[in-house]
């Protein structure tokens, strides 16, 4: 028979206080695994995004879990973007308490190759989403040495955005077919729109690229590549890439006074969003920039504040460089992975199958991240239909689908972040004239190749 | 006994006294125990682990693999390591003396007894309470090239202001300038020293020479040299570890053109962006050794220029 006893209230002794402190300290240092997730209950982590983004994913997971009889599902939103999110995820994996599924906004190759994510190839074989239902260029962003570590369920697809009204005001044709097909044509056209008032850039045509993440697309457009995955060799300082950067540098000198600082002082000509630091509005939406390269995510944001000063814009294929022969697109996917240590790997994969086909349609309807699996029947985003009409929305949706099928491999290196930083460093040195093109690219090549070999060794 | 006086100090203490002292020592140890446990868990063990990880290939996921001195060799040939070391050294060499001079100047002003002394002291300490990230963002907005109030004001005066944080030639100097902003702690330390100067010494100095700078150089400064030493050592340690402002302003690549690439940023990105814990630990070890040597050197020279009341320490 057990007996419950109640101790008489006592004053806290020094020893008692210290013992209590020690016990509390020990409890606080317990591994997170002590509070591990339950089997049969899916846990999804999202790196960030808007409230709507979180709501969509929470709804999709709940719907799937209920339908599959899995019980309660949990979606954790907004855990921080970029490095902070990866740190949290790695921390959870090493502590043995990871989520069952996680979205990533950075390539899963690097951590997958180190054993952080489950290989999906075996699960894909007899599933609804076998390997051959994914565009090869896109899937390569999740693969290393033939092993698939994640799925690019949806993706922002890069293409050229242009202001049709600015084209028409100059008496130029504004249909997609008439858009410049080569860099030379685009540079020539760009001059038509570029107006300076002293050192202030009033309006611009197109800009030489300076976004490190998209350099792989421009390299492919010029017949080159940044990373030769088959031979595990970087090609950053290849002839095509040196030619590309020289082309951009000459363009900058000729049309933009050789100084991106002057451009940046005049407005945000970099992308279609307000600059979060300076508060400067996007020149494209302000009707001060004829065109730019951007991802399809802008389809969802372009109608938000600041509302464009024009109504008609369109998308076109990326033009081809002097040494290139075909147009390519590029993507920034929303990757999904199943971390090693997931308590429900099969259920997690089943959810990915659902998300890739049925879920991504609903997702695209509300936030235009393009579904990438070839079996998906895409429907135009509701917001786009409302603003531009069914015909234009369908046309843009079909165009993005075509572009998603011609993506160049990118995000496929086990040292992706290191490579991106090295490219950013080289591009800055080139544009600020701190280093000649060949030297800057050569330094990036040497450093990145050395890092790749270090990671691959052992 | 003649010729042998009883020595009080040598006499064994009564048993009760010894017991009481032992009990006191035990109690002291118990009170210090939480700190000792914390120090061991969060400082000593990580320190030893850092020395160990520095000699391994460790990517966080998976077990560390012994590689000997390879990480140090990799550092030797890494341009980012040298560039960040150069930037950090320049930052330290310029910002630490500047901070000391300005904090001393502020402390001398705050030491004057006025009706608003307390208010001014609070005002000068307040910036220290603002999170460094928030402070950095505020400065980024203030220094925005075209729309920032600083450049608008300078242009209104007919000056041609620089692109503070965009021009590679100006960015590091801007970072140094920003480091001078929260000077509350240094100023308070100096102020404490100034208020400890005995009144009679101060008055005697006033009588000896009517020139204020004579008093400052020959009386005030020598008497606050322990505070100068403290601020110097802490300043050097902090300046070598400058991180928050650098990463908020320059990101992990030290934009523009690596002008703001600081040592701790390179260390951070090696650890948490590239997951190269071995290299990051090697960098931490190098930094530890450099700061330790500098601190020891300062303490060595301090004997000749730091004056403690009541004699040498």
**According to the model, what pLDDT value does residue B12 have?**
62
A32 falls in which pLDDT band (50, 70, 90)?
Answer: very low
With beta carbons under 8 A apart, name residues in chain A contacting B252.
83, 421
Q: What is the model's pTM? A: 0.83
Mean pLDDT for B15-31 is 87
- For the ranges A40-44, B43-47, B70-74, the lowest mean pLDDT is seen at A40-44
Nearest to A94 among B37, B41, B60 (CB): B60
Decide if B79 and A424 are in contact by the 8 Å CB cutoff.
Answer: no
Decide if B252 and A455 are in contact by the 8 Å CB cutoff.
Answer: no
- Best mutation target among B37, B59, B163, B260 (most A Cβ atoms within 10 Å) is B59
**According to the model, what pLDDT value does residue B86 have?**
96
Tokens of A286: 């302000």
A203 falls in which pLDDT band (50, 70, 90)?
Answer: very high
Distance from CA of B177 to the nearest CA of A (A): 19
| HEC assignment per residue over chain A | CCCCCCCCCCCCCHHHHHHHHHHHHHHHCCCHHHHCCCCCCCEEECCCCCHHHHHHHHHHHHHHHHHCCCCCCEEECCCCCHHHHHHHHHHHHHCCCCCCEEEECCCCHHHHHCCCECCCHHHHHCCCCCHHHCCHHHHHHHEECCEECCEEEEEEEEEEEEEHHHHHHCCCCCCHHHCCCEHHHHHHHHHHHCEEECCEEEEECCCCCCCHHHHHHHHHHCCCCCEECCCCEECCCCHHHHHHHHHHHHHHHHHCCCCHHHHHHHCECCCCCCCCCCCCCECCCCCCECEEEECCCHHHHCCCCCCCCCCCEEEECCCECCCCCCCCEEEEEEEEECECCCCCHHHHHHHHHHHHHHHHHHHHHHCCCEECCCCCCCCCCHHHHHHHCHHHHHHHHHHHHHHHCCECCCCCCCCHHHHHHHHHHHHHHHHCCCCCHHHHHHHHHHHHHHHHHHHHCC
CA distances from A352 to A51, A130, A179 (A): 21, 12, 38
pLDDT at A22 over 80: no
Average pLDDT, chain A: 88
- ipTM confidence score: 0.77
- For the ranges A336-350, B9-23, B116-130, B197-211, the lowest mean pLDDT is seen at B9-23
**For chain B, how long is the longest CA-to-CA vector?**
95
Distance from CA of B146 to the nearest CA of A (A): 5
User: Could you tell me which residue, B131 or A345, shows the higher pLDDT?
Assistant: A345
What percentage of chain A reaches a pLDDT higher than 90? Answer: 65
Decide if A432 and B79 are in contact by the 8 Å CB cutoff.
Answer: no
Nearest to A278 among B38, B78, B144 (CB): B144
Interface of B with A in 156-175 (CB under 8 A): 163, 166-168
CB proximity A458 to B under 8 Å? yes
**According to the model, what pLDDT value does residue B124 have?**
81
């Amino acid at each position: 028979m057990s007996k419950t006893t109640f101790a008489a209230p006592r004053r806290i002794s020094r020893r008692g206080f210290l013992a209590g402190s020690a016990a509390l300290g020990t409890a606080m240092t317990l591994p997170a695994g002590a509070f591990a997730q339950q089997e049969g209950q899916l846990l999804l982590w999202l790196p960030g995004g808007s409230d709507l983004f979180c709501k969509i994913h929470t709804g999709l997971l709940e719907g799937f879990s209920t339908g599959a009889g899995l019980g309660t599902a949990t979606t954790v939103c907004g855990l921080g973007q970029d490095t902070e999110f990866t740190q949290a995820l790695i921390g959870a994996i090493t502590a043995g308490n990871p989520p069952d599924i996680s979205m990533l906004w950075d390539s899963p190759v690097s951590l997958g190759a180190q054993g952080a994510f489950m290989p999906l190839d075996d699960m894909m074989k007899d599933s609804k989403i076998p390997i051959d239902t994914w565009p090869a260029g896109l899937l390569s962003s999740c693969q290393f040495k033939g092993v698939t570590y994640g799925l690019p369920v949806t993706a922002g697809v890069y293409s050229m955005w242009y202001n049709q009204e600015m084209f028409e005001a100059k008496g130029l044709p504004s249909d997609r077919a008439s858009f410049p097909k080569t860099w030379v044509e685009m540079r020539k056209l760009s001059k038509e729109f570029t107006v300076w008032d002293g050192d202030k850039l009033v309006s611009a045509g197109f800009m030489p690229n300076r976004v490190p993440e998209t350099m792989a697309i421009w390299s492919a457009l010029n017949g080159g590549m940044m990373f030769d995955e088959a031979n595990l060799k970087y090609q950053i300082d290849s002839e095509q890439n040196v030619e590309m950067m020289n082309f951009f540098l000459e363009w900058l000198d000729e049309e933009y006074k050789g100084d991106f600082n002057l451009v940046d002082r005049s407005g945000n000509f970099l992308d279609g969003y307000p600059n979060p630091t300076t508060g400067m509005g996007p020149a494209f939406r302000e009707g001060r920039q004829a065109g730019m390269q951007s991802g399809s995510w802008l389809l969802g944001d372009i109608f938000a504040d600041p509302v464009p000063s024009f109504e008609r814009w369109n998308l076109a294929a990326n033009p081809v460089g002097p040494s290139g022969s075909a147009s390519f697109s590029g993507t920034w996917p929303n990757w999904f992975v199943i971390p090693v240590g997931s308590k429900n790997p099969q259920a997690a994969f089943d959810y990915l199958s659902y998300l890739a086909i049925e879920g991504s349609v609903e997702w695209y309807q509300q936030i235009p991240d393009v579904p990438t699996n070839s079996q998906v029947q895409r429907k135009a985003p509701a917001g786009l239909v409302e603003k531009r009409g069914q015909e234009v929305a369908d046309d843009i949706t079909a165009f993005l689908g075509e572009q998603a099928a011609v993506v160049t491999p990118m995000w496929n290196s086990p040292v992706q972040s290191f490579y991106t930083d090295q490219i950013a460093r080289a591009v800055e040195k080139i544009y600020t004239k701190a280093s000649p093109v060949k030297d800057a690219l050569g330094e990036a090549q040497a450093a990145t190749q050395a890092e790749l070999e270090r990671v691959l060794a052992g | 006994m003649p010729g042998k006086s009883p020595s009080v100090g040598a006499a064994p203490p009564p048993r009760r006294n010894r017991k009481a002292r032992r009990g006191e020592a035990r109690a002291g140890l118990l009170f210090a125990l939480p700190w000792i446990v914390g120090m061991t868990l969060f400082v000593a063990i990580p320190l030893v682990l850092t020395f160990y990880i520095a000699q391994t290939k460790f990517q966080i996921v998976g077990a560390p693999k012994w590689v000997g001195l390879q990480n140090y060799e990799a550092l030797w040939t890494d341009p980012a390591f040298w560039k960040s070391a150069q930037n950090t050294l320049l930052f330290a060499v310029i910002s630490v003396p500047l901070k000391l001079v300005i904090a001393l100047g502020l402390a001398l002003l705050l030491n004057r007894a006025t009706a608003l002394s307390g208010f001014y002291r609070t005002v000068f300490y307040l910036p220290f309470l603002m999170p460094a990230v928030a402070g950095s963002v505020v400065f980024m907005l203030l220094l925005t090239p075209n729309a920032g109030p600083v450049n608008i004001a300078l242009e209104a005066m007919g000056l041609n202001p620089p692109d503070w944080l965009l021009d590679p030639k100006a960015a590091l100097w801007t970072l140094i300038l920003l480091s001078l902003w929260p000077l509350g702690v240094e100023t308070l330390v100096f102020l404490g020293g100034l208020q400890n100067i005995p009144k009679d010494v101060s008055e005697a100095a006033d009588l000896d020479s009517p020139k204020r700078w004579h008093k400052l150089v020959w009386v005030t400064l020598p008497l606050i040299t322990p505070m100068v030493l403290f601020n110097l050592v802490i300043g050097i340690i902090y300046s070598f570890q400058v991180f928050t402002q650098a990463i908020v302003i320059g990101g992990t690549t030290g934009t523009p053109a690596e002008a703001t690439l600081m040592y701790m940023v390179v260390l951070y990105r090696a650890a948490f962006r590239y997951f190269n814990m071995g290299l990051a630990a090697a960098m931490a070890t190098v930094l530890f050794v450099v700061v330790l040597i500098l601190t020891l050197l300062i303490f060595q020279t301090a004997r000749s220029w730091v004056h403690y009341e009541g004699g040498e320490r």
